[in-house]
Structure 1
């Protein structure tokens, strides 16, 4: 059970950061996973009054506030056009519309869950995170860091000449994924972010001169997978090859 002693709607990022330095305090977003924990929270810190729920698009990048919902990602036409629909595909299986209206982008990335479709997708976008005190950090680096008490402010996605694709395997339509695969093809070749291994997503790069089957075999040989209730390590390794091959064919066809 989650017990909250006090609630504070932060009036500034500085106030939120100061409150969050106390170990018993927590920043709250959509509270999808937090409310499922057995936890005593001193002060629940609400960022909803700081204007961090917007998605801004410029000629060079997208700036996504940490409080933007997963539903906002799903419906944003600019993100859909830039990612060839991959952003929409990456979130549309996450439980249901009601949950996606609550779950936040910041909460999804801060938690660094191994099964996170959101983390998998943003990794191939070469996204950066903006931290209140820590500045701008590549998401690939941030995902490997231990959790700290800084405030995740927004996510920055640079626009590049690239094509994207998203694949996943689930036991049922809205279940946590057995394996995820976000992919990109640009002038440097192919990159595949594979998550739910069941560990968090990692990037596997492949040169442009390889065939889809060769890339699938290379990733199968390199990837480290584990077993869980949703699938064995061997099954996940097999799926990694299948999804990489499908993604490569889809990227070549676009």
Structure 2
């Protein structure tokens, strides 16, 4: 059972950072996965008063505050137009609308969850995270690191024309994905990410979307077994979902 002794709304990121250095304190985010844990928190840090709940757009990029919800990303016309609906497609099967109205992009990415549809999708975009002390770094680099006590302030997505696809398989509609696949074909080449293996998603560049290339890509990942599927099934599923993503992309016009 989760127990919280005190909730604090800091007036600055510096205050939030200082509070977050104590092991008994936690940043809340959307608090959807945290509430399922069996821990006691002395001071829960609420970032909702720091103006980090906006999506800002320029000619070159989108800047997404860490408190922006998954539902807001799902409905954001500009962001989804830029990435051919990739973000909407990746989050629309996450539990339900009520859940997505609370879950935040900051919590989804900072957690680096193996089952994360959000991480899988954003990895194939030209995505960076801004950390309060760590500065700006590519999402792929951030995702490979261990969790620390820094604060993910915002997510930056560079705009690129291209074609995008997202495919996932779930045993039931609102369950965690058995496997998740995102593919992007832009002027910078082709990138694919496979998540829920059940390890966290990893992104790789590939020369093309041909059948043999996709088979080699699927075979290059490691897979594990859990209550949802075996490693062998996930490996087979990876080839199937990559093929579907490639067919989806090849059937689209450039955006």
**Matches of 2:129 and 2:185 in 1, distance apart?**
22
Write the deviation string for residues 64-111 of structure 1: whole angstroms up to 9, x where unpaired: 000000000000001111111111010000000000000000000010
Q: Is the 8 A contact 1:215 1:245 kept in 2?
A: no
**Matches of 1:201 and 1:69 in 2, distance apart?**
21
Partner residue, 2:224: 226
Write the deviation string for residues 183-219 of structure 1: whole angstroms up to 9, x where unpaired: 10123432110000000001132113x52x1122112
Structure 1 stretches of 4+ moved >3 Å: none
Structure 1 range deviating more: 213-222 or 95-104:
213-222
Partner residue, 1:83: 83
Deviation of 1:252 after TM superposition, in Å, equals: 1.6
Q: Is the 8 A contact 2:127 2:158 kept in 1?
A: yes
**Matches of 1:185 and 1:214 in 2, distance apart?**
17
Tell me whether 1:206 sits opposite 2:206 in the alignment. Answer: yes
Aligned with 1:217 (options 203, 215, 218) = 215
Q: Is the 8 A contact 1:171 1:177 kept in 2?
A: yes
Partner residue, 2:173: 173
Provide the alpha-carbon RMSD of the alignment: 1.0
Q: Which runs of 5+ in 2 are unaligned?
A: none
**Matches of 1:44 and 1:8 in 2, distance apart?**
6
**Matches of 2:126 and 2:178 in 1, distance apart?**
24
**Matches of 2:16 and 2:172 in 1, distance apart?**
39
Normalising by structure 1, what TM-score? 0.97
Q: Which runs of 5+ in 1 are unaligned?
A: none
Partner residue, 1:28: 28
Normalising by structure 2, what TM-score? 0.96
Q: Is the 8 A contact 1:180 1:195 kept in 2?
A: yes
Deviation of 1:126 after TM superposition, in Å, equals: 2.2
**Matches of 2:36 and 2:122 in 1, distance apart?**
25
Write the deviation string for residues 17-41 of structure 1: whole angstroms up to 9, x where unpaired: 0111111100001110001101010
Deviation of 1:221 after TM superposition, in Å, equals: 2.1
SS of 1:127 mapped into structure 2 = strand
**Matches of 1:239 and 1:83 in 2, distance apart?**
24
**What is the 5 A alignment of 1:30-109?**
30-109=30-109
Partner residue, 1:116: 116
Partner residue, 1:133: 133
